Amino acid sequence: MPDSFYDEMYDSKGDPRAHYQSFSRWLANTPPELLAQRRREADLLFHRAGITFTLYGDDLGTERLIPFDIIPRSIPRSEWKIIESGCIQRVQALNMFLTDLYHDQRIIKAGIIPPEQILANEGYQMAMQDLDLHRNIYAHIAGVDLVRDGDGTYYVLEDNLRTPSGVSYMLEDRKMMMRLFPELFASQRIAPIDHYPSMLLSTLKNSSPVDDPHVVVLTPGHFNSAYFEHAFLAREMGVELVEGADLFVRDDKVYMRTTAGPKQVDVIYRRLDDAFMDPLAFNPQSMLGIPGLVSAYRSGNVSLANALGTGVADDKSVYPYVPDMIRFYLSEEPILANVPTWQCRKPADLSHVLANLPELVVKETQGSGGYGMLVGPAASKAEIEDFRARLIANPAAYIAQPTLSLSTCPTFVEQGIAPRHIDLRPFVMSGRETRLVPGGLTRVALREGSLVVNSSQGGGTKDTWVVEE
């Protein structure tokens, strides 16, 4: 396990970094009992607001409170500008890749990506082939997961282009910090993020050629792990939250059932996977989607955000090619680097991975939420051998990466304040322009030594500050 971690708050001498000095002084002057009281208030307020996620397959029940830590993750403005530019560049290239993939496939013809990586990928949707989208945007909302290595360098760990979640926790964490500690915001300049819902609504409206389009948020229902977020965003944007049964298709147009009669829907912000969107085109057993939706979509009568078929671009086996996409479509060098990745479908890469399993992180190419992965340094011999068998049986389903020494941030735990590993998910919106609010969702691995930050694996969240230096 790597033993040199970049501490976000303190430098190598133990002194607070420049952008943390104001917070450090406040922390030193605040009585521990007051901090403990504020933490209890935060838990109570989160519980009252229903800020939860659903954990499947747990005998103790499914509803879980997202653990919230009151020590923020702070990023200086100069550093944020690099993150922002790198995320915008990356998402622009991914949208250009998807446009190319479903039209001319120039990147495949140029020999940069093997055709079987794409055309045999379960995220590739034939229904999208030769379909022209407004502004050629497929991923209207993207989440880019960033980690920071021991030397302070940011790396992109993965891209989330299907139905990226977590923005509600970003916004609620900020509200909570402003409510509990208003003096912190008075003493320094922290960039605001509360305009995210209006930016999101503008992005969704820009996905349609219609003037003043009617927008809805489509949820699988209240049993979904991110239902709180679906309801939260619909409320914040002032649009309807609907389930598949609330919508129907007639004459290749989508309508919502209302007490005043059918009302046409122009934009669907879908929080539902491709397979469940239309039982006539995909999974015939789906009770969550809208029969005939794909026909209406292909007729240009409704916009979907994100588009169908975006999953092929955030598949972990396609991730290694994103730097090449940036060079191919934008003629630029990547601002943010990928984590070095071995593709187990390649015999030489597989041999390396099998020989070094105890040192590597192995992930399913279609996996998410921290499930279906092996963290070699933290795994038992039995777990390593189990994964070895899985790799040998189906190598194309896995990629491997080195175990990064993820940066740490001081965090309140039972023993007091201690460093815990964190990542960052900025949210990128693509409409007339590509933009993001200054900040993102910082996830923290609350278990000592753990590198897995997902809420489904016991992780929590922190408020993310972009501060003027």
In this predicted model, what pLDDT tens digit does every residue of 384-402 receive, in sequence order?
999 999 999 999 999 999 9
Q: Are 275 and 286 within 8 A, CB to CB?
A: yes
For strands 434-436 and 154-160, give the pairing: unpaired
DSSP state of 15: P
Could you give the residue ranges of the DSSP H alpha helices within 182-271? Answer: 182-186, 196-206, 227-237
Beta-bridged to residue 436, according to DSSP, are: 428
pLDDT of residue 43: 87
**Rounded-to-integer distance, Cα 396 and Cα 382, Å:** 22
- Higher pLDDT residue, 2 or 213? 213
Tokens 């653990």 sit on residue: 67
**Which of 154-158, 261-265, 455-459 bottoms out in mean pLDDT, i.e. has the lowest?**
455-459
Fill in the amino acid letter for 226. A
Higher pLDDT, 453 or 429: 429
Average pLDDT on 128-139 reads: 97
- Token pair 């303190």: residue: 10
* Span 20-31, average pLDDT: 94
Indicate the domain borders of the chain. Answer: 195-305
Mean pLDDT: which of 154-168, 405-419, 444-458 is highest?
Answer: 154-168
Cα–Cα distance list, 168 to 108, 164, 248, 382 (Å):
37, 11, 28, 38
Parallel/antiparallel/unpaired status of strands 373-375 and 416-425: unpaired
What is the arithmetic mean of pLDDT over 86-113? Answer: 98
User: Measured between alpha carbons, how far is 317 from 307 in angstroms, rounded to an integer?
Assistant: 20
Q: Helices (DSSP H) in 319-380: which residue ranges?
A: 322-325, 347-355
Q: Give dist(CA 226, CA 143) in Å, integer.
A: 15
Mean pLDDT for the chain overall = 93
Q: Residue 2 has what pLDDT?
A: 44
Residue 267 predicted with pLDDT over 90 = yes
Architecture of the domain spanning 195-305: 3-Layer(aba) Sandwich (3.40)
Q: 213-259 pLDDT, tens per residue?
A: 999 999 999 888 889 999 999 999 999 999 999 999 999 999 999 99
Give 460's strand partners: 444
Asked if the model's pLDDT at residue 64 lies above 80, the reply is no
Distance, in Å, from the CA atom of 85 to the CA atom of 67, rounded to the nearest integer, reads 30
The 10s digit of each residue's pLDDT in 324-354 is: 999 999 999 999 999 999 999 999 999 999 9
* Per-residue pLDDT, 1: 39
pLDDT at 456: 67
Report the percentage of the chain scoring pLDDT > 70: 95
Q: Which stretches does DSSP call E strand in 345-440?
A: 360-364, 373-375, 398-402, 408-413, 416-425, 427-430, 434-436
d(CA 311, CA 161): 6
- Please report the DSSP string for 120-133 in residue order: T-TT--GGGTTPPP
Quote the CA–CA distance of 285 and 287 in Å, as a whole number: 6
